[in-house]
Structure formats: structure tokens, C-alpha cells
Chain A
Amino acid sequence: MREFGQAEVLFIIFALQWTLTLTALAFVGGGIAGLGVALLRISRSRIIRWLVSGYIQIVQGMPLLVLMFLCYYAPSLFGIELDALFAAGIALTLNASAFLGAIWESALRAIPKAQWESAEALALPQSKVLRFVIAPQAVRIALPSTVGYLVQIVKETSLASIIGFVEITRAGQLVSNATFEPMKAFVCVAILYFVICFPLSRFSQWLEARSPGRAKGTSRGKRSIRSKSPKTT
């Protein structure tokens, strides 16, 4: 049996790089795929919208842990041995794509139809309407919840410990097993999660406070992007 000491704390802190790597993988991968999901969800084709909606429902309707097991064990059916990092990365990416896709879809839908119409009336092709008119406005709407979701991803990476990937939760488990000091080990792990998540949460709250429709003022950063609704006469 080992004592819980500096080396054990450092071991856990050292594993932080893998929590962050996994977070980055999920956020970037899930972001790219989520963008696709959001764009396909506002497609004109009903079949595409329906298929993508099905994808979102399936992923969101499954515990991430189960998704992670599937990603870890399914490739072995085809004789492929997947690295735990890779399997966890795929599972987190799929999961993030469904949630980010849904967040961004609703941001895109929040832009008034009149914005599409007036841009199309200026002869802009759809891709440019999206890029220059709709997306910049949608990004401002979606930013607070996107950063908020990043906090979720950080915490969700802990599930990768179950398939044996050594990020901080798994590191805490290993230290706990070796020292029989679960409280010390997991308080240490909890502190690390908090140190990462707390600033992100505050950042998200700050974005929310200055987000469209909430803030008043004339400086660029604080401008409301809500267009004035016309009076009906």
C-alpha cells in the first residue's frame, strides 16, 4: 500500500492533459459534425431533415456510457482493435454533434425569416445568405449555450474511464486503489474539474448577459441584434 502524497497528486494532474485532449477532440469533432447536423436540419428536403432528426433522437436517447461501450466494442466485431482514446473520441464526438447540432439549429431558426427574404431579394445565393447574413447573427445567439455545453463535454470525458482510458477520473481511481484513500483521490479529481469548468461557466454566463436582446448600449460588443419589429397598422 502506498501513501497518498505529492506523487499521487501529480499523477492525477498529469492525467489532466488527456482529459483536455479528449475534450478538444470531442469539441472540434462534434463542432464540425454538429455544424453539418444544424445545416441539414434547416435543409429544404423533408427527407434529409427527417433523417438527421432521427440521428439526433437516437444519439440523444442513448446514455453516453452505452454509446461509449458500443464505440469501444463494435469495431472488434470486425476484428479491429480500437484504441480507448479513439473509441472515446468517437463516442464523445457523436454525442456532441447531436447536442451542438440541436443548439445551432435553434439559433439558425431564431433568425427572422425576413432576414432570409431581404438577403435573397438582393440576389444573394443561399450559401452567401447563410454565410454573411444568417450565420453571424446565429453565432451570437448560440455562443453562450455552446460554451455552456463545453462544460458538459469536460465532465462527460470522465466516462472514458470506464473503457480504461486514463484521464483524471481514471487516474483518481488508480490512485484510490493503490492508496485506499478514495476521498483524497476523488476530492483532488473534483477540484481539477472545478478549476476547468468554473471559468467556462462564468464565461458562458458573461456571454449570456451581453447576448442579443439582453444588453442595452451602443458600443459594438453590446449591441442588440434583434431587429425592431414593425408595428402593424
Chain B
Amino acid sequence: MSVIHVENIRKRFGALEVLKDVSMTVEAGEVVALIGRSGSGKSTLLRCLNGLEKIDEGVITIAGHKMSHNTAELRALRRDVGIVFQGYNLFPHLTAGENIMLAPVQVKGLRKAEARAEAQRCLELVGLGDRFDSYPDMLSGGQQQRVAIARSLAMQPVVMLFDEVTSALDPELTEEVLAAIEDLAAQGMTMMLVTHEMRFARRVAHRTIYMRDGIIHEQGPSEALFTNPQTPELRSFLKAELG
């Protein structure tokens, strides 16, 4: 069964239709990259998947939950759907470890000691085992983003969403974050990532979706899509992105 199933969704911001009848599925263990220009609707699509944006029409099923406006149902859905943002959004008043422990303790009801062990484990997964007690502003952008990934992982999500997670980072810091994501992919995590890193999408994503003007303009296995784009729009987009 597919982990993400999106059927004919539409999303409007006022008069502007950002998603125009989008449908797609993501299978378990699949890594899907969403590419496209700014304003193409790719980030909106991702944010719709965990209910940060409400869809106007259509159906979303994700990690076995049907998207709902009901807060309790939405919370149940979000327990199984992790998301990492461009701006890291760590809680600045909590240490890296406390950032990670918060949701397992407050949402899942884990005991402090259990949550602490789990947080430590997640920090080690992203290569930051020694930064448990560091506050976010003592960490580099790349480290903060890896803590944000660990924070999501600690909820043991079924699927992870990444929203341009390296766009705020310098090139050398981008690499360490991409490496953490690649590790997750290798472990079989189902993931969907909005990205501007074309080489990374090609290397790590099984499938790439090119969005343009609120629709899926072209999609296919990453390797094929990047070597042999079918539409002139994607060809010129890739040319601009890859130089």
C-alpha cells in the first residue's frame, strides 16, 4: 500500500490557485524529490501533506491517515509524518537534546529517561552525539538542521518531508545535511523532499517530480528524468539549474 496518496487536490490562496488538480502516490521506502521554480507549488504541496496548509478540494491519505480538519485526527496524522523546514525552527530556549525530547515526552508520554536515551540515539544518527546540551545558537546552521532532522526522527515517523532544508545553508554545510538525509534514505525511510540540489535529487531520489504552475508537469525515475527530460520546460529548467 502506498504511504502517500494524493488525489485531485486543489489549493487556493485568495484568487491564486497554487495547486491545480494534483494527484500522486509515494510507495513505502520510496524517496521522491520535488523540483521546480519558486512559486510552482512544490512547497505548498509538501505543506498540505501534513496539514500545515488546508486543501480546498481533493483527498490526501498519508501514513494510513486521511487528511482531516479535526484537530485530534490531524494530531494523530502528524505523529506519523515528520517535517523539516528550511529555517530549522529549533526551539531556541531548549538545548538540542530538549528540543528532541519535547514531543516524545509531551505527545507520546515517554518517560524522561526513555526520551533522553532516544534523543541521544537520534543525535548520534545525524552525527551530533556530543551536542546534546548545546543550545541552538551555539550550533552552526548545518548542525541546527541536523538537530531538526533528529527531532523529527525521535517521533519515529512513517514518512519524512523535507522542505528546502539546505536552502539557508552555505555549500560546505549543505553537504553534512544532505549526508544525513542520504543515510536515512539508505535505511529505507519513505521521504519526500522539495529541493534545489539537482545533483542530490538525481543521486538519492528514486523518482523526481517536476512541478510547474501548480501541476505535475513531468515525473519519472530520477536518472531517466535528468538524463532525458521529455518536455522543453523541464529541459530549460534543468539547464538553468545545472548550468
A-B contact count (CB 8 A): 92
B111-155 vs A: 1/0 string, CB under 8 Å?
000000000000000000000000111100100100010011001
A145: Cβ under 8 A from any B Cβ: no
Flag if A226 contacts B151 (CB, 8 Å). no
- Complex Cα–Cα for A120 and B103 (A): 10
Query: A37: shortest Cβ distance to chain B, in Å?
Result: 24
Residues of B with C-beta under 8 A to A120: 52, 78
Flag if A117 contacts B85 (CB, 8 Å): yes
> Out of B79, B93, B141, B144, which one reaches A140, CB within 8 Å?
B93
Contact residues, A106-164 vs B (CB, 8 A): 112, 114-115, 117-126, 128, 132-133, 136-137, 140
Q: A136-B93, A218-B138, A223-B137 are in contact. Are A230 and B83 (CB under 8 A)?
A: no
Interface bits A173-191 vs B (CB < 8 Å: 1, else 0): 0000000000000000000
List the B side residues contacting A230 at CB < 8 Å: 86-88, 167-168
Query: Do residues B86 and A225 form an inter-chain contact, with CB atoms below 8 A?
Result: no
Contacts of A114 in B (CB 8 A): 85, 87, 89
Question: Shortest Cβ distance from B12 into chain A, in angstroms?
Answer: 20
Q: Are B102 and A132 in contact (CB under 8 A)?
A: yes
Which residue of A119, A137, A218 contacts B92 across the interface (Cβ within 8 Å)? Answer: A137
Contacts of B10 in A (CB 8 A): none
Residues of A that sit less than 8 Å from B by CB: 112, 114-115, 117-126, 128, 132-133, 136-137, 140, 218, 220, 223-233
20 more A-B residue pairs beyond the given contacts A125-B75, A226-B92, with a C-beta to C-beta distance below 8 A: A112-B89, A118-B83, A118-B85, A118-B90, A119-B102, A120-B52, A122-B78, A122-B155, A123-B78, A123-B79, A124-B103, A125-B71, A133-B102, A223-B92, A225-B137, A228-B87, A228-B144, A230-B87, A230-B167, A231-B168
Q: Which 3 interchain pairs have the tightest Cβ spacing?
A: A230-B168, A118-B89, A230-B87
Can you report 25 residue pairs joining A to B where beta carbons are below 8 Å apart? A114-B85, A118-B90, A120-B78, A121-B78, A122-B78, A122-B103, A122-B107, A122-B152, A123-B103, A124-B103, A124-B106, A125-B75, A128-B106, A128-B107, A132-B102, A137-B92, A218-B138, A227-B88, A227-B89, A227-B92, A228-B137, A228-B141, A229-B87, A230-B87, A231-B168
